[in-house]
Structure 1
Amino acid sequence: MYQQIELPFEKRGKNGKIVSFINMKGGVGKTTLSVGVADFLAHYRGDTNLKVLIIDADPQFNATQALLDSYYEGDYFKDILPVEKTINKLFKPQVQFSQQYQSPSPEEMIIQLSSNLHIVCGDLSLVLANKSSDYTHIKRLKRFIKDNSLREIYDLIIIDCPPTLTIYTDSALFASDYYLIPNRIDRYSIIGISSLQKAIGNLTGEEDINLECLGLIYTILDDELTQKQQEMKDSFEAKEEVQQIYIFTSYTSNVKDIQVGKQGPIPTRYKKSREDLEDICAELIDRIEQGVSDE
């Protein structure tokens, strides 16, 4: 059986922030970063550990697989998927239109991985949801968070977004206070950034939301860049779209052990990656606490 959330679901008077991790280009280490940040903040800060909810909005549901493999004793395909305890529950069309829509409860949606780390699991069915969902469903994730006062329960809510423009990408951004851009240096990096900025510009132009960019984090970076890599990095940062974005001084290193999964897919299990995440999380929390608009 799946692990139940502690009941009653305790409100702790927090004012949690919501951050979408997103890039319109795949293969940039987005999910590895979102999982690593969530795990580090929940478990590796000693007396200052945070209570974190990670929402897997990517149909590939890699964040779900990584975290369940490390923390969950049950079986996703036997315990979670059959009862639809996944994000897909938010995007299913209503069967009876005479009934007013009601947000699912936390108990219907959230899996407890540890006392400080919870997850709304991803679901491959999101591929179908995008084809059938009404655009009004864009507000469902934000409403789920609001109706269940999740900001009062969690210090931070992280949404792992897909690298494509879908109704649940818009839903994630609509629900968020901030977005964070993981980015890997290659000759096509600017394509994902340009597409993302256009998408966010369109969304904020159509909807009355205040969505701020926390910045860009380089991922899978070699500590010593080759001349070619340095030239690509310099060229990327010279682009007008990038000059408007704060670039984190911290980054994730190219740790080959993660690629082969010697100690599992979560980066906190690897010393070098854990050190990177310590720096990233400190800079991330500082950015949130100091306020992006105060720059």
Structure 2
Amino acid sequence: MGIVISLLNHKGGVGKTTSSLNIGAGLVELGKKVLLIDLDPQANLTLSLGLPRHPQSIYESIRGESPLVPYPAKPNLDVVISTLDLSGAEMELINEAGREYLLKELIEPIREVYDFIIIDCPPSLALLTLNALAASDTVYIPLQTEFLAMQGLAKIKQVIDKVKFRLNKPLYIGGVIATMYDARKVLNRDVVETIKKYFGEIVFKTMIRDNVALAEAPSQRKDIFAYSPNSPGAEDYLNLSREIIERTNARHAD
């Protein structure tokens, strides 16, 4: 049965979509079958892979008009696409019974098809994000290694704890991903140390270095492994994907 992972940070620009895409692609490089779900109305994950608009997106699925329809991005990497229409879904579903569990119900029929299902959450803590958390086994928090990026960490943890208590008791924070890291900058190093003090061992050892290829790849509609397989970005996301597999295996062996 596939492991469902939400990548969540309500602050934009922290590398959430970049991490969702390239963790997924990294896991594929390591022999896994992966589904990416673009749950962000900005549809940046969908755009980053150059996937065309299809009649069935996550919007139609959330509204109950369609099951989840994965589209192939490359061998063993499928994507449930998003559109701007999704921005209206929260208002449309406000009176829907069990509205926090809509995504969970959609994932269940296809969960066994994949090793990992990765949800790229919107930069908010509203209904779509609650759906992602209710459907997930674990949450990863991408965190830019800058001072302002740490503001709001307590709020994220509070929301996750509340979802765990009310909607999804097995949910846990599985990792914190330090992104846009430059070891030459004292501030970056200090922020990483602060993150480690706050979260402890769940901070991933692999830090995603600031790398221009990661910014360029979406413009070519490619993941980092297809765009620049020898870049520091590809090296970092492959190492991070290895860590994710190791942590997943260790947890399920307990």
* Shared fold, TM over 0.5: yes
Give secondary structure in 1 for the equivalent of 2:204. coil
Root-mean-square deviation (Å) = 2.2
Q: Which residue of 1 aligns with 2:224?
A: 267
Distance apart, 1:54 and its partner CA: 0.4
Question: How far apart in 1 are the matches of 2:203 and 2:253?
Answer: 15
Question: How far apart in 1 are the matches of 2:19 and 2:73?
Answer: 18
State the number of aligned residues. 248
Question: How far apart in 2 are the matches of 1:182 and 1:16?
Answer: 21
Counterpart check, 1:56 vs 2:32:
no
Q: Which residue of 1 aligns with 2:177?
A: 217
CA contact (8 A) 1:177 1:210 kept: yes
Question: How far apart in 1 are the matches of 2:200 and 2:165?
Answer: 18
| Alignment equivalent of 1:251, drawn from 203, 207, 217 | 207
TM (norm. structure 1) is 0.77
CA contact (8 A) 2:47 2:221 kept: no
Question: How far apart in 2 are the matches of 1:251 and 1:265?
Answer: 21
Q: Which residue of 1 aligns with 2:101?
A: 139
Counterpart check, 1:189 vs 2:149:
yes
Distance apart, 1:259 and its partner CA: 2.5
Q: Which residue of 2 aligns with 1:226?
A: 185
Give secondary structure in 2 for the equivalent of 1:28. coil
Question: How far apart in 2 are the matches of 1:245 and 1:124?
Answer: 37
Distance apart, 1:118 and its partner CA: 0.9
Mark the CA change 1:253 to 1:29 in structure 2 (over 3 Å): closer, same or farther. same
CA contact (8 A) 2:103 2:132 kept: yes
| Alignment equivalent of 1:201, drawn from 139, 161, 164 | 161
| Alignment equivalent of 1:279, drawn from 227, 231, 239 | 239
Distance apart, 1:228 and its partner CA: 3.1
CA contact (8 A) 1:41 1:281 kept: yes
Q: Greater Rg, structure 1 or structure 2?
A: 1
* Percent of paired sites with the same residue: 28
Question: How far apart in 1 are the matches of 2:191 and 2:177?
Answer: 16
| Alignment equivalent of 2:61, drawn from 90, 108, 112 | 90
Question: How far apart in 2 are the matches of 1:209 and 1:291?
Answer: 16
* Ranges in structure 2 where 5+ consecutive residues have no aligned partner: none
CA contact (8 A) 2:9 2:142 kept: yes
Mark the CA change 1:260 to 1:155 in structure 2 (over 3 Å): closer, same or farther. closer
User: Deviation string for 1:118-176 (max 9, x for gaps)?
Assistant: 11101211211112213622111111112x2x221111100000120121100011000
* Ranges in structure 1 where 5+ consecutive residues have no aligned partner: 1-14, 93-101
CA contact (8 A) 2:61 2:67 kept: no
